[in-house]
Amino acid sequence: MAANRVTLIALTALAPVSWGTTYAVTTEFLPPDRPLFTGLTRALPAGLLLLALVRVLPRGAWWWKATVLGALNIGAFFPLLFLSAYRLPGGMAAVVGSVGPLFVVVLSAPLLGQRPTARNVVTGFAAASGVSLVVLKAAGALDPLGVLAALASTASMSAGTVLTKRWGRPEGVGPLALTGWQLTAGGLLIAPVAVLAEGAPPALDVPAVGGYLYLALANTAIAYWLWFRGIGRLTATQVTFLGPLSPLTAAVIGWAALGETLTPLQLTGMALAFGATVAGQIATRSRPVPAAPAPPRTATAPAEPSKVRS
């Protein structure tokens, strides 16, 4: 059982690790200054491909639920994330994004009935502090719109993670179909914004085509399938504590492949953030929010003994 749980956590962790490659792929292979087009090509083709594979459409209330989840996890998250990345210096967007575990801890109380624990809060602050040491560089005044966009993107993804855990999946529907619904809905929401803000698609060379194929297939279709699969089997807090692996992966790739250097302070931050990620997998047994007390029994009849189902 423990081995299966470790395997599940490791497979779920592949999603943020894959997302950590996005920066290098974008800067090295894709046309510049097209964040919405990049978000669109990540989401919509991947979603349509998964829908073609599973051939399952939402039914009943799941039409609006899939739309809400697609908007939170994809449609709003992608544009806000790219907007913050373009307006904030250095790795500030990643620093703001690393507070996602704290957002999830707070949202889990009203939506999942899980009371925040001091240990999870401390671990969340440790993760954010470690990421800040890795990616934050000296910079001038921060752009208020960029900060708001970064906070909004983090809140959007955090709310989507918690709602995905709360709503689960319809009977007989697997995580692949749920992923396809959300990517398609999110991509359709991004499409008109991309056309209005950026106009016609840019000309693409062979490296750009390869980069977009990677982003759509490995970085989005497979990664989000693993992510939503993990949400269905782990706690929402456990899943979101894997998020700091994304900026850590970006830093390692920058050092190994792009010739960037890592200072002792950055290495310390990596150790702190990774330690918080590991701790988040064993420190997530949040106490449930206590229910309202039951009304007193009347004295007309003795209480029936409780029955325990095997």
Name 29's Cβ contacts closer than 8 Å, sequence gap at least 6: 207, 208, 210, 211
Averaged confidence pLDDT in the chain: 83
**Hey, where are the domains in the chain?**
15-284
For residue 304, the model assigns a pLDDT of 36
- Residue by residue, DSSP assigns 2-57 as HHHHHHHHHHHHHHHHHHTTHHHHHHHHSPTT-HHHHHHHHHHHHHHHHHHHH---
Encode pLDDT of 254-307 as tens digits: 788 877 777 888 888 888 888 888 888 875 444 444 444 444 444 433 333 333
For residue 291, the model assigns a pLDDT of 43
For residue 303, the model assigns a pLDDT of 37
Q: Virtual CA dihedral for 76, 114, 242, 95, nearest 10 degrees?
A: 60
* Displacement of CA 189 from its chain's centroid (Å): 18
For residue 140, the model assigns a pLDDT of 53
Best CA proximity match to 243, nearest among 259, 262, 223: 223
Mean pLDDT is lowest, of 42-56, 80-94, 200-214, for: 80-94
Mean pLDDT is lowest, of 93-97, 143-147, 185-189, 300-304, for: 300-304
Per-residue three-class SS string for 237-289: HHHHCCCCHHHHHHHHHHHHCCCCCCCHHHHHHHHHHHHHHHHHCCCCCCEEC
- Residue by residue, DSSP assigns 93-104 as HHHHHTTHHHHH
Q: What is the pTM of this model?
A: 0.82
For residue 308, the model assigns a pLDDT of 35
Tokens found for residue 81: 């994330």
Q: In the chain, pLDDT over 70 holds for what percent of residues?
A: 86
Residue 5 has pLDDT above 90, yes or no: no
CA distances from 32 to 76, 102, 192, 220 (A): 21, 33, 20, 20
Compute the Cα dihedral for 28, 34, 39, 41 and give only its sign. Answer: negative
For residue 137, the model assigns a pLDDT of 65
Encode pLDDT of 194-248 as tens digits: 999 999 999 999 999 999 999 999 999 999 999 999 999 998 888 988 988 888 8
pLDDT-derived band at 92, boundaries 50, 70, 90: low
Radius of gyration, CA atoms only, the chain: 21
